[in-house]
A and B are shown apart, each in its own frame.
Chain A
Amino acid sequence: MNLNKLAWRNLWRRKRRTMITGFSVAFGVMLAVTFTGAGDYFYTRMIDAGASMGMGHVTIEAVDYHRAPSLKKRLHHVETLREKALQLPQVADVMTRITGQAMFASASKSVGGMFIAVDPAQENSENNLFIRSIIEGSMLSAPEGRNIIVGSKLAKKLHLRMGKKVVYTTTDVHGEIVSAIARVSGIFETGISEVDGAMAMLPIHSVQKVLGYQIDEATLLGIILKDQRFSKSMRDKLAAMPLYSGVEVLSWQQSQPELAGMIAVDKSSNYISQLLIGLLVAAGILNTMLMSVLERTREFGVMMAVGMAPSALFRLIMLESFWLAVIGLIAGIIITIPWYIYMANIGIDLSGAYGDDFNFAGVLLDPVMKIRLFQESIFAILFGLFTLALAAGAYPAWRAGRIPPVESLKTI
């Protein structure tokens, strides 16, 4: 009989113990999937939401604009830059935008804020948070014209309603103060107080004229990727292309460092939780294997007496740990699949606890907790738990081979 078969049979000597330990591994898989899946889903939502607030997953902008924003710093030949980026396989969309600070004034009041000038033809509700947050009126219909869409709180501060006039004042490409009039054609409400109280969306060609920009000039190109995880590699790829040598290419981690920092902190605590789960699983296996070794001391003595080498005994116990881990992981996969399907599609509504306007690091999030696992996370969970399970078996295995056969044979 080979060691594998013997290890498998040994596991089933005490069925209940094996099943309890297997279940603890399975439960560990479920917990790890929940924690990791929630993280993968939550971070992706945050990053995607952050990207749709203006900068994209990757941002192309004029050199040094990010560190010291100024409307003087601008991109040239944006259409060429955009077309080239759109040809890359991971790129879902590229939007030309002008962002800057402005003073908004109504007949009764003035308020400082930010504007984002967009080309409506390039925008949609998927890549633009403001469009999907419109609560009154409609999206801009053309890149020119005198329309403006304002945040709900900004509208309230300025006592604006649909169709009312707003004067926005900013500095042009030469540093001169310039103003223009626009008429409110829509109001958006993202739920993020800072955004709703200060932001406005304008048609890009109108803003280009006001600022003295050429038709193919803008402050940035926001690139939306099919998968945010490729942000850094896409940044590197674009930065290496000669066409983008005179501009700055930023990943979302660089363009939104606060968000990246918050995610990093949250991820760290998530890793600690995962480690604790892994240690609990490992402790269960260690306990089982140690008990199993202790109660078979005499049997191991006999095996060594008839010629089994301590190394073979070590392999036998390790194989038992291996099969225990396999049983646990398979059981884990079986019990986790329905849970995963439920959590990925329906999730748990946390609006009762957090309210409907749940935002994190300035990014509005859906209060329904869902999970989504990346492929690499699945492998990481299975590999991590499997490695911990094997590591937990190593000490009992080492111990079994260390007891001299003459001592083992004395035990009852």
Chain B
Amino acid sequence: MTDQDNKHDTHSLLNAAAQHPIVRLSDVCKTYEQGKIMVNAVHDVSLDIQHGDFAALCGPSGSGKTSLLNLIGGLDVSNSGTVIVDGINLATIDGSELSEVRKNRIGFVFQSYNLIPVMTAYENAAFVLNLQGVDETECRDRVMATLKAVGLEGLEKRRPDEMSGGQQQRVAIARAIVTEPAIVLADEPTANVDSHTAESLLDLMEKLNRQQGVTFLFSTHDQHVMDRARRIIQMHDGKVESDNIQAG
């Protein structure tokens, strides 16, 4: 095989990747046992998330938003249907392979930040890179660049208890995007911060989406957040009620 052939193949793969969705859900169901009652948390959901999406899963509490994010993030397994993330069918891989998928392809942002309290902002952001075994110099360059991008330059040595809620969530976002994952899943990322901080976090995520092409899927029931999303996936009782691309 010549170099020309190799280049051709690489281009083909990249094109194919660009054309295929990052997440594809087909007839996904998830049922929980709650005492003696079975709850259909996710019911027959089929959905594609494309590269560059800035999508919001909306709906009231109990509508299945977090359950769906957990399924996409490989934190939970569906009862039926298929969940394909970045070309990998999550139902066909074991626990350690799921860990690898989460580590290398998915970024997580949680409602309550969930930073590791004994680590500094820098160390929290570098945590996943360390798990990936990225060498120290590269790790440092990437983390510093990411912290700068999320507006935390100069706060690298602060621990979570020395930062505001908004700053902590920025560290969480830095931790999620520093590995350049295929998708960032954010569960109510602005729920624990004031409206001003929420606005700036949304600005940040939107900027990362537009400038760096980071794909975001976040759950929310905040109308203000929904207004900023370019795609709204409305859920109710575990089902997708509507899936609309916003104008503008």
Contact = CB atoms under 8 A, between A and B. Distances in A.
B130 A1 contact: yes
Interface in A207-260: none
A306 B130 CA distance: 11
**Chain A, interface SS category:** helix
A35 B108 CA distance: 54
Contacts of B132: 307
Contacts of A380: none
A13 interface: yes
B154 interface: no
A315 to B, nearest CB: 12
Interface residues of B, number: 27
Contacts of A311: 96
A245 B133 CA distance: 67
Interface in A1-34: 1-2, 6, 9-10, 13
A280 interface: no
Contact of B118 (A10, A305, A306, A404): A10
Given A306-B175, A307-B100, A1 B127 contact: yes
B103 interface: yes
Interface stretch (A100-108, A173-181, A295-303): A295-303
Contacts of B75: 305, 404-406, 409
A409 B70 CA distance: 10
B116 A299 contact: yes
B128 interface: yes
B123 interface: yes
A307 B99 contact: yes
A348 interface: no
B70 A406 contact: yes
Contacts of A299: 114, 116-117
Contact of B119 (A6, A307, A308): A6
A309 interface: yes
Interface residues of A, number: 23
Contacts of B35: none
B177 to A, nearest CB: 12
A378 B72 CA distance: 55
Interface in A127-185: none
B99 A6 contact: no
A73 B151 CA distance: 98
B219 to A, nearest CB: 13
Given A9-B118, A405-B75, 6 more contacts: A6-B116, A302-B116, A305-B73, A307-B103, A312-B131, A409-B110
Interface of A: 1-2, 6, 9-10, 13, 298-299, 302-312, 404-406, 409
26 contacts: A1-B119, A1-B126, A1-B127, A1-B130, A9-B118, A9-B119, A10-B118, A13-B117, A299-B116, A302-B108, A303-B116, A305-B73, A306-B131, A307-B100, A307-B102, A307-B104, A307-B132, A308-B99, A308-B131, A309-B99, A310-B96, A311-B96, A312-B131, A405-B75, A406-B70, A409-B110
